[in-house]
Structure 1
Amino acid sequence: MKLVLLSGGSGKRLWPLSNNSRSKQFLRVLNSNHEKKSSMVERVWAQLNNVGLSDSTIIATSYSQVDMITNQLGQNVPLIVEPERRDTFPAIALAATYLYSVQAVSLEEVVAVLPVDPYVENAFFERVRELEALLEKSDAQLGLIGIEPTYPSSKYGYIIPNLSKQNDYVNVSHFQEKPTEEEAKELLSKNALWNAGVFAFKLGTLIDILLEKGLPIQYNELLNRYSELPKISFDYEVVEKLEHIVALPYKGYWKDLGTWNTLTDEMATNLLGKGMISPDSENTHIVNELDIPVAALGVKDLVIAASPDGILVTEKSASPRIKELLKDFDQRPMFEERRWGWYHVIDHASYEDGQEMLTKRISVLPGKNLSYQYHETRNEVWTVIKGEGEFVLDDKIIPIKAGDVLRVPARSKHSVKALTALEFIEVQTGRNLVEDDKIRLFESWEEIEAHCEFVKLQVK
């Protein structure tokens, strides 16, 4: 059995801690067995490892999340990277072609696709494993996991079983997306299940569907034509068109931590970061990533979340509406985790002549390095404020330490490696200061050193 974890998300439901590059699954706010907090993706990967499924798991994600995943799970986690975000059908199709044409997985192999961020017990993944035998026994085209509801929720989609009952699974009649609470009560009377977003199928089933649609089944070909795929969910493009679908009920703990009110229910503390909550404040949480304190006094049922991207104050019951509030709001991420560390935008200014200034605080972890790159339009000045490292400018490597000031003109090739924990302030000046103004030449330090040595030999 192969598992594909879908890691996507626009980052708006847990704003301001989440953004377009740091979606909810990467927020380190959950309790773990260690002193430090863990993220949803770290928790799920540890659970897959516990039940012996991590070796057969691949994560499907977008370019904007690759650094976050490798930063939290390590460099060896297998990834399928979408060239652009196009919803769940294209993502699952790309994963299927990778398994088929690159890994040479048998068409009879069962593939289970699930979100990267369910908050569940280990038993949930054991239940996912049982879908393999269920598909063989039932000869169904698709297998799902259905959560036995604990109340009539309007937040989840529902799996409606047909009248013919089986001993340990249900035949699926149809689906209903996010009903009203009154409708949900009626669905519960029909033994409906919450849809956990898990799909299991034989690889050949999806390959056949791609062929029917005239789409490539070779990974590289589909990758090149990815922009032609419809932006549509797997549910609408595939699931609703299949005739024989079964579902395994799951009775254990399951929760979607996609909103502030559900996430704070699972936090072990009411205060993360600098802040104070008065004793007469009831059911109130503060999650603060800023270096200034946040205080809550005499309030009830609130979430106060603060990050470089913004500040949110919301009643817990209203928090699911944040995505609607932000639908027309667009700004660059002010905080990002990368494979080498993180950066925080401190200031940004635009001037009448079209020039801009952007100031970042950048932290590079010991032994990590930025890619060897250059920028077309911007100049940079770096002021090292902590640690020691090696700095490369136009193929020359020099040692650096706290107090050094480094100038990086536009089109100058540059990189830095941290020997100890390294921090510097970067001031960018120029026009159109965007993250896309970056031409990468080499990623690894070994490649950079080898190139610089080659240049030295050429000069001799």
Structure 2
Amino acid sequence: MHTILLSGGSGLRLWPLSNGVRSKQFLKVLQRDKEDKLQSMIQRVWEQLNKCNLTKNSIVATTVTQVEAIRNQIGEEVSIVVEPSRRDTFPAIALSCVYLYSEKNAPLDEIVSVLPVDPYVENAFFEKVVSMEKVLNDSQADIALIGVEPTFPSEKYGYIVTDKSPVSGTYYNVDSFVEKPTINLAEELISNEALWNCGVFSFRLGYLINLLKEKGYPITYHELKKDYERLPKNSFDYEVLEKTNNIVAIPYKGYWKDLGTWNTLSEEVSSSIIGKGLIEKDVQNSNLFNELDIPVILMGLDNTVVAASPDGILVTSKEASPRIKNYVELIKEQPMYEEKEWGWIKILDHSYNPDKSEIFTKKLSIKPHNVTDSHSHSLRDETWIIVSGKGVITLNGEVNDFTPGDKFDIPKGTIHSLKATTAVELIEMQIGEIDSSDIYLENVEEGMIKN
């Protein structure tokens, strides 16, 4: 069995810690079992998959802005399918299946399981994922789903309506789907034993490959990438599930939660304070998430979330927190913090000279033994000031050792690279016309810095 992990969302409901570059699944706010170290949603799910021996044949479908964060958090060896553009779950799954078929030579009768990278579940959930292969073979269904037994009527989730007669006590035949019902309808669905649709399903690879053939899409990876914009910008549920008749559902009775909002995430963190700050002792059911280097103090506000990062500051009641997405979409600011495969970038300041040239000031953290690419810029000058760490900087072929306090001017056209011997932090000032495409690579290696 192959597993496709979907990691394309922007996670706007967890702003300001989450943004288009660092989505919610990369936030290190969850307690690791029996350890003090925090981990992210994707790291937690990857560990759970590994315990069921599913990581070897797993691939992650994502956008180009998330590739470095994925490799940084779960390893450089992970197979990644990069979408040319963000177009919802059906195109992402189609591209991943064509990759398995044409690049990995997976047979058409291979079982493919699809799941998001951020469910908060017990390990037993992934045992259900493993069981989907047998259920598909026993039932001869086109698609098998995992349906969570609801614990309360929710308007946020989709529901799977089954025939209520389990086959061999293992799975149900699916009659229909209901997407995000009203509370009254949700109560009625639960009384009729409907299941929450948690977005986990399996099918034979040939089922989707044949579907793409019928619709006239290429079934080779590179050709489909070229034609990616032709694929409908729809969910897999709408494009496939709702148009398929032979579907079965496996019920799951254990713990499952979508940690997509501050109110749900705050219920699963190990401490009410993550980062620098204090919460007044009489405050009830409030949480502080602070990524800034300055303290934040929360007083007199119960049932509140305060989240602070270089991207902004959010103060909200837990009940209102899901609505943040509506407001973040109005903010067009560049992300001020990006996690990279080699470390991270934090924008400290952005200003303009009287002549309208731009000044970007950034702080970069680079992991030990990382070698950046050799590159140059034609529109801007740069200055690097070493804050900490040791290594060498190469400027137009001249190798220079550096230690904390050293300063290097890098005029336009200078070919430059850095090799970190230890962990390195530096301040970078960019002056001129700041254009993300203004980078000319002399060579390309894994771990390169592009900023």
Question: Shared fold (TM-score greater than 0.5)?
Answer: yes
CA distance in 2, matches of 1:52, 1:188: 34
Instruction: Note closer, same or farther for the CA distance 1:185–1:310 as it changes in structure 2 (3 Å cut).
Output: same
CA distance in 2, matches of 1:231, 1:411: 41
CA distance in 1, matches of 2:392, 2:446: 10
SS in 1 for 2:266: helix
Give the structure 2 partner of residue 322 of structure 1. Answer: 324
Give the structure 1 partner of residue 368 of structure 2. Answer: 366
Give the structure 1 partner of residue 46 of structure 2. Answer: 45
Shift of 1:163: 5.4
Q: Detail structure 1 runs of 4+ shifted over 6 Å in the superposition.
A: 445-448
CA distance in 1, matches of 2:443, 2:87: 28
Give the structure 2 partner of residue 422 of structure 1. Answer: 424
CA distance in 1, matches of 2:300, 2:164: 53
SS in 2 for 1:286: strand
Give the structure 2 partner of residue 55 of structure 1. Answer: 56
Shift of 1:351: 4.5
Letter in 2 for 1:53: L
Letter in 2 for 1:209: L
Instruction: Note closer, same or farther for the CA distance 1:447–1:338 as it changes in structure 2 (3 Å cut).
Output: closer
Give the structure 1 partner of residue 21 of structure 2. Answer: 21
- State the TM-score, normalizing by the size of structure 2: 0.96
Aligned partners of 1:271 and 1:287 also within 8 Å: yes
Instruction: Note closer, same or farther for the CA distance 1:327–1:124 as it changes in structure 2 (3 Å cut).
Output: same
Instruction: Note closer, same or farther for the CA distance 1:195–1:133 as it changes in structure 2 (3 Å cut).
Output: same
User: What is the CA RMSD across the aligned residues, in angstroms?
Assistant: 1.7
Residue correspondence of structure 1 range 111-122 to structure 2 within 5 A: 111-122=112-123
Deviates more, 1:110-119 or 1:169-178: 169-178
Shift of 1:98: 0.9
- State the TM-score, normalizing by the size of structure 1: 0.94
Aligned partners of 2:341 and 2:447 also within 8 Å: no
Pair 1:3 & 2:15 matched:
no
Aligned partners of 1:11 and 1:21 also within 8 Å: no
Deviates more, 1:34-43 or 1:20-29: 34-43
Give the structure 2 partner of residue 306 of structure 1. Answer: 308
Give the structure 2 partner of residue 457 of structure 1. Answer: none
Instruction: Note closer, same or farther for the CA distance 1:436–1:258 as it changes in structure 2 (3 Å cut).
Output: farther
CA distance in 2, matches of 1:375, 1:197: 44
Aligned partners of 1:61 and 1:82 also within 8 Å: yes
Give the structure 1 partner of residue 250 of structure 2. Answer: 248
CA distance in 1, matches of 2:352, 2:243: 51
Aligned partners of 1:146 and 1:249 also within 8 Å: yes
Instruction: Note closer, same or farther for the CA distance 1:443–1:10 as it changes in structure 2 (3 Å cut).
Output: same
Q: Please, which runs of 5 or more residues in structure 2 have no aligned partner? A: none
Give the structure 2 partner of residue 93 of structure 1. Answer: 94
CA distance in 1, matches of 2:267, 2:442: 45
CA distance in 2, matches of 1:193, 1:446: 44
Residue correspondence of structure 1 range 151-230 to structure 2 within 5 A: 151-162=152-163, 164-166=165-167, 167-230=169-232
Deviates more, 1:434-443 or 1:98-107: 434-443
Instruction: Note closer, same or farther for the CA distance 1:200–1:447 as it changes in structure 2 (3 Å cut).
Output: closer
Shift of 1:374: 2.2
Instruction: Note closer, same or farther for the CA distance 1:200–1:161 as it changes in structure 2 (3 Å cut).
Output: same
Instruction: Note closer, same or farther for the CA distance 1:447–1:84 as it changes in structure 2 (3 Å cut).
Output: closer
SS in 1 for 2:47: helix
CA distance in 2, matches of 1:54, 1:157: 28
